[in-house]
Every structure is written in structure tokens, then in C-alpha cells.
Amino acid sequence: MIYGKHIRFRAVEHDDLPTLLKWVNDPEVQQGISIYLPLSMADEEDWFTGVRKRSPEERNLVIEIRKPEQDSDVFTWMMIGGCGFFNYDLRNHSTEFGIMIGDKSCWNQGYGTEAVRLLAQHGFNSLNLNRIHLRVLENNPRAIRAYEKAGFTYEGRQRQAEFKDGKYIDLLVMSILKEEYI
């Protein structure tokens, strides 16, 4: 388990699949990700099997937030999204990552930014990475702002590298280096 101030990352469990499926099929969530076809529970099962075959560093994580129980000192943890590294390059100590806050009631509350910071901390301090980068759609200012707040720098623009709603749109590449993180 990887703990931040208000959030934590845990491994994906089979029981998470129905929730993840609901999110990736949500048109509003799909605006920010690369999924554009309806996904079935069977697809989601295949994805889960695939995750477990990936190297440990690249297995997807579930993002949870701490929720105080009513009239109590105890906390429960509520799943709000997922994240993970991919295109992990061992020799160059470099990786790409993806993140999704699927629970829309948790948007615009800083959880995405905190999750990105925690993922960068995990990448640099545990995995010994030197470079972490991401690609984000140009029409997703909320995400771009979160990456900037988490310390990411704009590197460039992959022109017409995505197709959504009848037209080509650009993908922005952003990154953070270990020397910038420290």
C-alpha cells in the first residue's frame, strides 16, 4: 500500500471490476481517456488477467480516499479511480503513466493532483526512476492544470495524434525529471 495525506494506492482486486467498468463506459470519463468503444465485463476480466501478467512496477493501482465514518474516529477507504505506469523502460529509468478519477463526485477537489504527486513520489523514491511522462488531450484543461500543479513541464505537442468527436486533436506531452522532483 502506498500512502499519501488524503489518499492511498492499493493493488487492483477482482471485486473492483464492476466499478471500473462503470467508469470506463461513462461518456464524461471517456472524454479524457483513450477508450472509445463500449467495454463488456468480459473485456474487463481480460484486462484484469493482463494486469497480473505485467511486471510488478506496471500493475495498475486503485486510488482510494480516506473517509471518516459518521460520529466515529475510524476511517474507511473509498475507491475513486485508478492509475499506473506503462511503457516502463528499465535501462533508461523512464516511464509513462495514466490516471483516471472515475468517481465524478470527486472531481475538482485536488485528488487528481495529490494522486499524481504520490505516483511521482513512488516512481522516484521507490522505483528509482529518472523520468516520468504522460500524454494528455489538449481539450482537457482540468487534467493539464493538475499535472502542472504536481510539477510537470510541458515538453511538446503531438499534432493530430487522437481522434474524438469527428476531428483530430493534439496530445500534449508533459514530464518531470528526478532532479526537478527533489
Signed CA dihedral, 179, 180, 181, 182: sign only: positive
Residue count, binding to other proteins (CB under 8 A): 22
Binding of other proteins at residue 138 (CB under 8 A)? Answer: no
Of positions 70, 156, 165, 166, contacts other proteins by CB under 8 A: 156
Whether 106 and 65 have beta carbons less than 8 Å apart is answered as: yes
Choice between 5 and 91, CB closer to other proteins = 91
* Structure-block grid coordinates of residue 39: 467495454
Q: How far apart are CA 160 and CA 157, in angstroms?
A: 9
What is the per-residue binding string for other proteins in 91-110, x denoting contact by CB under 8 A? xxxx----------------
Looking at residue 135, its amino acid is R
Chain centre distance of CA 70: 29
Class of residue 119 by CB neighbours under 10 A (exposed 0-12, middle 13-18, buried 19+): buried
Residues in the chain: 182
Of positions 30, 121, 130, 139, contacts other proteins by CB under 8 A: 130
Binding of other proteins at residue 31 (CB under 8 A)? Answer: no
Choice between 116 and 174, CB closer to other proteins = 174
- Kindly state the smallest distance separating residue 26's Cβ from other proteins, in Å: 20
Binding of other proteins at residue 25 (CB under 8 A)? Answer: no
Binding of other proteins at residue 144 (CB under 8 A)? Answer: no
With cell 497480473, the residue in question is 52
Contact residues: other proteins, CB under 8 A: 36, 91-94, 130-131, 133, 153, 155-163, 168, 173, 175, 177
